[in-house]
Amino acid sequence: MMRRFVRTRRFGTRADVDETVLVVPGKTLIGGEWVGAQKRAVFPVFDPATGDVVGSAPDMGAAETEIAIDAASSALESWRRTSPRDRSRRLRQWHDSIVERREELARLMTLECGKPLAEARGEVDYGASFVEWFAEEGPRCVGSVDASCSDRRMLTTRQAVGCAGLITPWNFPLGMITRKAGAALAAGCTVVVKPAEDTPLTALALAKLAEGALPPGALNVVTAARANAPAVGEVLCASPVVRALSFTGSTEVGKRLYAQCAGTVKKLGLELGGNAPFVVLDDADLDLAVECAMASKFRYSGQTCVCADRFLVHDAVFDDFEDRLLRAIRKLEIGRGLDDGVTLGPLINQRAADRVRSLIPDDAAVFDKHAAAARALGPTFVAPALVRVDLDLDHPPPCWDNENFGPVVPLARFRGDDDAVIEIANRHATGLAAYVVAGDLRRAWRIAERLETGMCGVNQGIISTATMPFGGVKESGIGREGGIGFGISEYLEDKYLCFGN
Ligand code: NAD
């Protein structure tokens, strides 16, 4: 494979991105063509580990979004009439090309989002699995017949909802796109994807790999700098042609899009923020508890929406758990995601890192080796911190009430029975994921069922998979992605037909 520097119109160069395979500099895929922004505007993409520019993407706005919607609309009729089996074959082809390029995709992802390379490889597998899963789901989306009445036959058909707008975040630059686009395309929808401004290159690489598999206009990508994201969102929400909008990101932006979609009464999927409770009961296996805690909390430096955020540990095992957790935290290796042995990379940008630092009180437990490494590496690196939280105080620290989205472990002791911990865990406006570590599974089951979240891991710290529905309750969102019938149904309408004789 030939490696060349990516040369962009206005920005620097970087040897690690293979432009010949994965990115067309300064261009995005709309209507089957690689096009730039109308005024040739581009925005830089940075390596969060170094601050280097690693590439650029077109800085598009309302006008280009309209063009992308038109392209998706033109491609819709033919794509929705394509047989589900044929759509499935094409998705399978896209899947295979993603898997084939696993290493390049993983490196590109690490370059623009900073996650350790091993995690980026895992995300390619995870992201590809959604394309494969929905390729299999599509042909199984058949309707039903009720022949129980002698004078009529009643049936349902499942139809693609239409064009879909998909807005995705930076923390899973590949997986969040395939989890949505795989479902929408399998259902017969055409899509306009708006990736996050920090990570457009992975999205563009995915489009490049889809090019050979999907017809022109089936998948369109509109990239935009942060300042233009609201304009793109407004057009997607206001368009009567876009019949479904799926968003993964912050609760704040999700609420805004919810309101903006009211005007056209769209089908809406919202995967928003969380503040996951992680409950350790007094009969828990503490080695397992620490293993689950580390997996859940420190994946991508704590920048996942299902991260354990509020650690609630029973008084009887609190000290022991804290000791063991600190020993595990000490072993974390901070560094650049492309370097061997690194388990904790940078945060996505300095704004995010400054925000996380502001949530860490002075008396937090931080290892000197981590603090020194983070200082030496640069302003996007944050040393892991353990913050003891006293729930008897009127005002717990801000890292307890807010999703910290960083390597911060807010740790609180609880006393009393299971009702007490359930009440504390449910005391939050969001409800995405929760975790329970327990010896007695019947007890864990009862607690898990009463936790107000869309998902719960029991003796398990990593729960997301294509085969099960992902999503939240309360202010964590609406709808489900993945799973048998769940994710694809977000892009289907069930039509009832009644035939008299
Ligand atoms: P964000 O809401 O700032 O941005 C997400 C996407 O929305 C980006 O593409 C961004 O450009 C776009 N955007 C921003 N403002 C917009 C607007 N006014 N109109 C339209 N689009 C707009 O979120 P983020 O900082 O990128 O991601 C972090 C948040 O996402 C966290 O709260 C995290 O919990 C959440 N998240 C949730 C899930 C889930 O599945 N529930 C998964 C990953 C991340």
pLDDT digits (tens, 9 = 90+) for 173-215: 999 999 999 999 999 999 999 999 999 999 999 999 999 999 9
C-alpha of residue 198 to centroid of ligand 1, in Å: 11
User: What whole-number percentage of the chain has pLDDT above 70?
Assistant: 96
All residues at 6 or more sequence positions from 405 whose CB lies less than 8 Å from its CB, including other chains: 302, 303, 307, 352, 355, 356
In this predicted complex, what is the ipTM? 0.94
2 pLDDT above the threshold of 80: no
Strand partners, 280: 313, 437
18 pLDDT above the threshold of 90: no
| pLDDT for position 393 | 86
Residue nearest to atom 20 of ligand 1 (CA): 233
Q: What average pLDDT does the segment 147-163 reach?
A: 97
| pLDDT for position 501 | 82
All residues at 6 or more sequence positions from 252 whose CB lies less than 8 Å from its CB, including other chains: none
CA 197 to ligand 1: nearest atom? 11
Q: CB–CB of 346/336 below 8 Å?
A: yes
113 pLDDT above the threshold of 60: yes
CB of 120 shorter than 6 A to ligand 1: no
| pLDDT for position 498 | 98
Q: Which amino acid is at 488?
A: I
CB of 432 shorter than 6 A to ligand 1: yes
25 pLDDT above the threshold of 90: no
How does 61-73 read in b/e, with b if 16+ C-beta sit within 10 Å? bbebbebbbbbbb
Q: How many CB atoms lie within 10 A of CB 121?
A: 18
Q: Which of 113, 166, 167 has most ligand 1 atoms within 8 Å of its beta carbon, as the pocket-test mutant?
A: 167
| pLDDT for position 24 | 86
**Model confidence pLDDT, tens digit, residues 370-429:** 999 999 999 999 999 999 999 998 888 999 999 999 999 999 999 999 999 999 999 999
CB of 306 shorter than 6 A to ligand 1: no
C-alpha of residue 478 to centroid of ligand 1, in Å: 14
CB of 177 shorter than 6 A to ligand 1: no
The mean predicted confidence, pLDDT, of the chain is 95
Q: CB–CB of 160/215 below 8 Å?
A: no
Q: Does the annotation mark 211 as catalytic?
A: no
Element at 91 (helix H, strand E) = helix 84-100
CB of 305 shorter than 6 A to ligand 1: yes
3-state secondary structure 100-111: HCHHHHHHHHHH
| pLDDT for position 301 | 98
Q: CB–CB of 459/437 below 8 Å?
A: yes
Residue nearest to atom 11 of ligand 1 (CA): 196
CB of 18 shorter than 6 A to ligand 1: no
Distance CA 404, CA 408 (A): 7
- Model confidence at 17, in pLDDT bands (50, 70, 90)? low
Which among 322, 408, 298, 311 has a CA at the least distance from the CA of 358? 408
Tell me the three state secondary structure of residue 186: helix
Q: What average pLDDT does the segment 273-281 reach?
A: 98
Q: Which of 170, 174, 202, 253 has most ligand 1 atoms within 8 Å of its beta carbon, as the pocket-test mutant?
A: 253
**Model confidence pLDDT, tens digit, residues 39-64:** 899 999 999 999 999 999 999 999 99
**Model confidence pLDDT, tens digit, residues 230-268:** 999 999 999 999 999 999 999 999 999 999 999 999 999
Q: What average pLDDT does the segment 364-374 reach?
A: 98
Residue nearest to atom 43 of ligand 1 (CA): 305
CB of 474 shorter than 6 A to ligand 1: no
Q: Which two tokens stand for residue 18?
A: 């293979």
Element at 492 (helix H, strand E) = strand 492-500
Q: How far is CA 250 from CA 31, 310, 387, 427, 438, in A?
A: 29, 18, 24, 19, 31
Residue nearest to atom 27 of ligand 1 (CA): 249
CB of 171 shorter than 6 A to ligand 1: yes
Residue nearest to atom 13 of ligand 1 (CA): 229
| pLDDT for position 21 | 56
- Model confidence at 9, in pLDDT bands (50, 70, 90)? very low
Handedness of CA 54, 47, 228, 180 (dihedral sign): positive
